Structure 1
Amino acid sequence: MFASSYNSLLVLFSLLVAILASYTALDMAGRISTAKGRAAHWWLAGGACAMGTGIWSMHFIGMLAFSLPIPLGYDPAITALSLLLAIASSAFALWLVCQESLPWTRIAWGAVLLGAGVAGMHYTGMAAMRMSPSIVYVPSLFALSVAIAMLASGAALWIAFRLRRHSPLVRPLRAAAALVMGAAIVGMHYTGMAAAQFPVGSVCGAARSGVNAGWLALVIIVVTLAVLAIALIVSVLDLRLEARTSVLAVSLAEANQELTYLALHDNLTKLPNRMLLTDRLDRALHGADRNNGRFAVMFMDLDGFKTVNDAYGHHIGDLLLVEVARRIESSVRQEDTIARVGGDEFVLLARVGEPADAATLADKVLTVIREPFQVAGRTLRVSTSIGVAMYPGDGIDQHDLLTNADAAMYHAKALGRNVYCFFETSMNANVHEQLQLVQDLRLALERNELILQYQPKLAAPSGPMLGVEALVRWAHPARGLIAPDQFIPLAEKTGLIVPIGAWVLDEACRQMRVWHDAGRRDWSVAVNLSALQFGHASLLQMVRDTLARHALEPGCLTLEVTESTAMRNADASLRILQQLSDMGVRISIDDFGTGYSSLLYLKRLPASELKIDRGFIRDLARDTEDAAIVSAIVALGETLNLNIVAEGVETAAQQEFLTRLGCDSLQGFLLGRPMSPDDLVEALSQDGMFNRAA
């Protein structure tokens, strides 16, 4: 037999190629297992080519490292066939390890088939030498090489299957596994080479003169390393792209989740909003119909919230709403839904068995809201009015239930607030009337339906006339003349009081300009300011612009502010009133004696007059307590150098008594009812008061 030898450098390169091919195979298995759809097929094809090329290159470099005393060569067609066997075996291996499961029986059959394919590649490559006579194989070594191929294939399949998923330690584990797999592949190759015996006198039929085996090996090594490197680089880049895509997908999912949350929850209180409430109501309706169950819809509106909002600002109002939401949440069950559906409006959807259960829950909410709130260092108190509608019975759908609960809530407010009411059919008519009135009120300014009437204010006891108080009326086209107490509360609740108040001030100043031009320059006009107007940021500029527009001296205008409004946030009120006073506008404290005045603040208010509330005047002749209160107010006014005005004078006895006490001015039906400007001038002319005033 011919004596054979090996090029040690090429042997070393064959080992390195085997290890790199093994690592590439493991990496490709991971990429294919995570790919989806058509991408998985492309990764399988590309991975099979790279892995098969690597294994074949290891084999061919090992063949080139082998030398005999005769020239050697390799048949291109048979060599190409061995390459195809390597690629096909690699494709089968990659496909197998990317299955959902890989039981031991499947590993065994896969090892047999893959080992046979690798051995077939090797011995087909050997056949490409076309030796004559044929190569003689030692049976024991031949069988050992095939056994090594099958065992190595089984181990490779198990390792690849276990390491196909990405984890923090997957790369070092793949590197270690690649060393083992590469050594096994090289071991199989060189065992097979050792099994080959070449008789003396053998000739290589595929020998090519002039071909340098060393240069051919170098080209194959470079090309193979390039193929494997490109495969690995593409895999790494794709993995990074996939990781970034995964991060973006997670971020997008989180963003969508956040957007969904924002779409279904109130931004301030984080409670469900009307959209989510609608969904919960729909589920409650279906569940009640299916299980013959019952539930309650409670419509809540905070009492006194607008006053807090106007007095302390929207920031404090928002903080108060958050605290209210937390309290309500803590007082209801987890399966109940509390939603914010408006500025200070909440809806509670509660599964209850009987109306008595709903009453107990409503009473619990009333109790927790009544407790004082600590907000930004301030102690605030509000209450709530609750309307309750039961299903079934008070509505057949969401709209009916919410409308009827709202109607019951308005009825609760009419009863004095801080109570709950169950819906009754008669309530709907009142609610619809209120809603229609609000809708009409929104158009009243545009349609010029608001008018001003003027009530004379006379020096005690009977004149001359010092000025007038402007009182707004609504000349409704269908309902006739509507008194302020019927629409002003609605205007305050809806915020319409601000534009209405601006119109009243402008119209009163316009009329005063007309009277001044007619020679009545000693007259002044008093205009009431609501709490909402008083806290509005544009109040000072509006007053300044209105006076300038009608060329009126500020002293001709008196702004009446109720005692409760002036005292609600005393420090802020002092600043506003002082700015108005510095402008030259006169300040009157209206309804004095009905609020909670502090003399400490009262003496600091830049007011020019106090108006005694009509409630003290009504029973003045019979009620000694009212007389004592009025006497005390007059004495206080004199001490503070304030003009005292008594309103609501309806009898001569009241007129005489108030004059005797020392009131400076009187106002009431006895002296003159509210009337139009023309009627006022005519009445003054007939009674002679105009002559005295002139």
Structure 2
Amino acid sequence: MQRDAARLLYGNAVAGIMISLLTSSFLVFAFSYPRVDPLKKMWWFGMFILLLFRFIDVIWWKIKLQNTEFDGKKSITHFVIGANITAIMWSIYLVYCTNQVNDVQLTTTIIAIAATAGGSATVLAAHKYTAMFYPCILLVPGSIGLLLSEEKSLHLLGILGLSFAFVMLLISRKSANFTVHTLFLKNENSVLIDSMEEKVKQRTQKIYELSNLDPLTRLYNRTAFLEQLKRVTTKSEKQFALLFIDLDGFKKINDSIGHKAGDDILRETANRLNQFTSNTQLVCRWGGDEFLVVFAETDEKRAVEKSNKLISLLSEPHTTENSILSVGATIGIALYPNHAKTEDRLIQLADMAMYYQKKQMRSAVCVFNEEMEELFAYDLHLKNGLTKAIENKELRLVFQPIISSQTLKVAAFEALLRWQLKGKDIPPDEFISIAEQYGLIHEIGAWVLNQACLEVKNWNTEQEVIVCVNVSVIQLQDDNFISIVESALSENLIPPELLHIEITESVFASDLVVITDQIKSLQAMGIQVSIDDFGTGYSSLSAMQDLAVNMVKIDRSFVNKIDSNGKAIISAVMHMSEALNFTVIAEGVETQEQSQALLNLGVHYFQGYHYSRPLEIKNIPAYLEENQNNT
């Protein structure tokens, strides 16, 4: 508000100064009286110097301060000092004239000063006290001088002067109040507008962030990234590389340590991506622990080099939740325009390359090629078929016997899942991974459990035969898994002792706390648990001790090498079984020599083609009868 007042005062200053200069020059030089001329000219010289300083002050203010955030109070002080001194100078001149000049000059002087006083009410209205002081100091001393004059004819002028001064005082006060109020309203509205503009700006920024930025990482979200990528693909023909990045091991951290640690890792990953790209590239959090990055003007060789460096950066340890955690990154690359020219297709191909690489080896880089698309199409074909496999009755179970090494009697059958899609047998190692990848394993696994229990119920044998069912680690981690097992047992009236659960050795790479709790719950029900494919890479002695499983199945790869280093490994497992109190089953037994060697090592049970291939359900009764007769 003070700056606005200063602008009004200085805005009218040049005109006021010029009028004062012209008026003073006219009054001094238009009337010549040798007796008073020297004093008048001295007064005029003083007024000229004063007006010159005021003019310089005005010019300096206009050049240096007018368009800046200047100190309004200081500027007003400079102005009013000059204006009030000018008023005093005029007052001195009028008082002097009341006694020294003739009637014509005195009348002219009074008129000129009265006019100046009248103009000051408007010109000085931005500063109330100066606006009121200026006409009073101009008129009151001179009017009093007229009243004190010996010439009675001048008394009337004195009264008129005082009356005019009083009127000008009221007018100046009212004009100043109006001007001050106007400036107050202007600034109040300005503050309100600024506040509204700031709120609108903040709201606009908030809307932008909500619609364009991922709230956790502050990277582009899907929508914004797709829009930006579309602009690039439509406006530029320059080659670039699109990276699809998936963090390795993130889910385990998120599930075991907590979502806060997971969020910290995602934020730090975003920071590292921005650091690596120097904030000049398109970077996006695609969802979950997946990120997209565009490297502009980059060919395949350069993209692979940069991706390997990026993997190293993203794989550096994270310190969070008082823990040092590590995740890896697998990257798939699609090139524009070599592989695709649209944003959707580029992302699809980079995603395809990433998943392909994940199946081969994690924490590595893969560039898309046409072979991957064929594999992806095949996987999609299997996925679509699996979604209706149960409904279309395409799934069935076959059962491979597990034989006691001492009696050679059937102790159990392992239920093995088979799938025939449009007349073609699909190997389990192809469709099981698809079922796990697309979340179909839960429904299929529940069907297998129920179907296996149903078949056990239908076997008419004097001897109780156990059924072993393979369970995915993904199933085992499901909170509803125990309920699914209980339901399969109760619906088919099967005692828990006739059901064994087999889990693959990959369980050791999972959240052992959750797995251990699930195993204990199964064992509390009377169900025994075995580790399948033991020795293929994940197991550890400490984990074996914590899990406390009932059985271990030695992988066929060691049975095949029993004549070499396989024998030492199997022997070590047997020593472990004595210490940890679990039973050992050897898989892949195909010859009598292998059977005898395993028996000599003390293996408890055999399973393999030497005793039987997996049997169709209809052939089981005959096999069991033959087994009983032969033993």
- How does the TM-score come out when normalised to structure 1? 0.65
From 453, 458, 477, the equivalent of 2:398 is 453
Aligned to 2:86: none
Question: How far apart are the structure 1 equivalents of 2:462 and 2:114?
Answer: 127
Deviation at 1:586, TM superposition (A): 1.2
Give per-residue Cα distances to partners, 1:367-411, cap 9 Å, x unaligned. Answer: 234445455455555433322222232222212322332333344
Aligned to 1:539: 481
From 215, 218, 223, the equivalent of 1:270 is 218
Question: How far apart are the structure 2 equivalents of 1:448 and 1:320?
Answer: 44
Moved more, 572-581 or 179-188: 179-188
Aligned to 2:109: 140
Deviation at 1:630, TM superposition (A): 0.8
Residue 670 of structure 1 aligns to a residue whose secondary structure is: coil
Decide whether the 8 Å contact of 1:453 with 1:675 is kept in 2: yes
Question: How far apart are the structure 2 equivalents of 1:595 and 1:411?
Answer: 22
Decide whether the 8 Å contact of 2:300 with 2:335 is kept in 1: yes
Q: CA, structure 1 residues 663+243, in 2 after alignment: closer, same or farther (shift >3 Å)?
A: same
- How does the TM-score come out when normalised to structure 2? 0.71
- Does structure 1 residue 486 correspond to structure 2 residue 430? yes
From 580, 597, 601, the equivalent of 1:661 is 601
- Does structure 1 residue 179 correspond to structure 2 residue 129? yes
From 476, 490, 496, the equivalent of 1:554 is 496
Question: How far apart are the structure 2 equivalents of 1:391 and 1:307?
Answer: 34
Aligned to 1:391: 336
Aligned to 1:75: none
Residue 393 of structure 1 aligns to a residue whose secondary structure is: coil
Q: CA, structure 1 residues 384+671, in 2 after alignment: closer, same or farther (shift >3 Å)?
A: farther
Give per-residue Cα distances to partners, 1:157-188, cap 9 Å, x unaligned. Answer: xxx5xxxxxxxxxxxxxxxx222123346668
Equivalent AA in structure 1 for residue 587 of structure 2? E
Aligned to 1:59: none
Aligned to 2:465: 523
Give per-residue Cα distances to partners, 1:204-250, cap 9 Å, x unaligned. Answer: xxxxxxxxxxxxx9xxx9xx99x999999999789768756754553
Asked which structure has the greater RCO (Cα within 8 Å, sep 6+), the reply is 1
Q: CA, structure 1 residues 273+486, in 2 after alignment: closer, same or farther (shift >3 Å)?
A: same
Matches within 5 A, 1:201-212: none
Moved more, 373-382 or 252-261: 373-382
Question: How far apart are the structure 1 equivalents of 2:491 and 2:394?
Answer: 23
Question: How far apart are the structure 2 equivalents of 1:479 and 1:325?
Answer: 48
Q: CA, structure 1 residues 336+575, in 2 after alignment: closer, same or farther (shift >3 Å)?
A: same
Q: CA, structure 1 residues 230+438, in 2 after alignment: closer, same or farther (shift >3 Å)?
A: farther
Deviation at 1:626, TM superposition (A): 0.6
Equivalent AA in structure 1 for residue 584 of structure 2? I
Aligned to 1:650: 590
Deviation at 1:644, TM superposition (A): 0.8
Aligned to 1:681: 621
Aligned to 1:282: 230
- Does structure 1 residue 434 correspond to structure 2 residue 379? yes
Decide whether the 8 Å contact of 2:252 with 2:511 is kept in 1: no
- Does structure 1 residue 502 correspond to structure 2 residue 452? no
Deviation at 1:642, TM superposition (A): 1.4
Residue 370 of structure 2 aligns to a residue whose secondary structure is: coil
Deviation at 1:625, TM superposition (A): 0.6
Give per-residue Cα distances to partners, 1:503-545, cap 9 Å, x unaligned. Answer: 3323333333x336x4567222222232222323333333334
Aligned to 1:347: 292
- Does structure 1 residue 258 correspond to structure 2 residue 202? no
Question: How far apart are the structure 1 equivalents of 2:122 and 2:186?
Answer: 27
Moved more, 440-449 or 532-541: 440-449
Aligned to 2:541: 599
Moved more, 625-634 or 547-556: 547-556
Q: CA, structure 1 residues 610+331, in 2 after alignment: closer, same or farther (shift >3 Å)?
A: same
Deviation at 1:601, TM superposition (A): 4.0
Q: CA, structure 1 residues 430+558, in 2 after alignment: closer, same or farther (shift >3 Å)?
A: same
Question: How far apart are the structure 2 equivalents of 1:320 and 1:682?
Answer: 58
Decide whether the 8 Å contact of 1:307 with 1:532 is kept in 2: no
Deviation at 1:593, TM superposition (A): 1.8
Deviation at 1:632, TM superposition (A): 1.4
Deviation at 1:259, TM superposition (A): 3.3
Q: CA, structure 1 residues 532+583, in 2 after alignment: closer, same or farther (shift >3 Å)?
A: same
Residue 287 of structure 2 aligns to a residue whose secondary structure is: coil
Decide whether the 8 Å contact of 1:295 with 1:351 is kept in 2: yes
Deviation at 1:692, TM superposition (A): 7.3
Aligned to 1:587: 529
Deviation at 1:446, TM superposition (A): 5.0
Question: How far apart are the structure 2 equivalents of 1:357 and 1:434?
Answer: 30
- Matched residue count: 525
Question: How far apart are the structure 1 equivalents of 2:120 and 2:191?
Answer: 35
Residue 547 of structure 2 aligns to a residue whose secondary structure is: coil
Equivalent AA in structure 1 for residue 430 of structure 2? Q
Question: How far apart are the structure 1 equivalents of 2:385 and 2:181?
Answer: 74
Percent identical: 30
- Does structure 1 residue 632 correspond to structure 2 residue 572? yes
Question: How far apart are the structure 2 equivalents of 1:232 and 1:585?
Answer: 91
Deviation at 1:682, TM superposition (A): 4.2
Residue 341 of structure 1 aligns to a residue whose secondary structure is: strand
Aligned to 2:239: 294
Decide whether the 8 Å contact of 2:128 with 2:176 is kept in 1: no
Residue 610 of structure 1 aligns to a residue whose secondary structure is: strand
Moved more, 231-240 or 275-284: 231-240
Deviation at 1:275, TM superposition (A): 1.9
Q: CA, structure 1 residues 371+498, in 2 after alignment: closer, same or farther (shift >3 Å)?
A: farther
Question: How far apart are the structure 2 equivalents of 1:528 and 1:361?
Answer: 42
Give per-residue Cα distances to partners, 1:342-383, cap 9 Å, x unaligned. Answer: 333222200134332212201212323444545545555543
Q: CA, structure 1 residues 613+304, in 2 after alignment: closer, same or farther (shift >3 Å)?
A: farther
Question: How far apart are the structure 1 equivalents of 2:498 and 2:260?
Answer: 36
Q: CA, structure 1 residues 549+384, in 2 after alignment: closer, same or farther (shift >3 Å)?
A: same
Residue 269 of structure 1 aligns to a residue whose secondary structure is: coil
Matches within 5 A, 1:319-338: 319-338=264-283
Q: CA, structure 1 residues 378+671, in 2 after alignment: closer, same or farther (shift >3 Å)?
A: farther
Deviation at 1:459, TM superposition (A): 1.6
Question: How far apart are the structure 1 equivalents of 2:400 and 2:259?
Answer: 36
Q: CA, structure 1 residues 590+154, in 2 after alignment: closer, same or farther (shift >3 Å)?
A: same
Aligned to 2:347: 402
Equivalent AA in structure 2 for residue 470 of structure 1? A
Equivalent AA in structure 2 for residue 645 of structure 1? I
Aligned to 1:608: 550
Deviation at 1:484, TM superposition (A): 1.9
Equivalent AA in structure 2 for residue 296 of structure 1? A
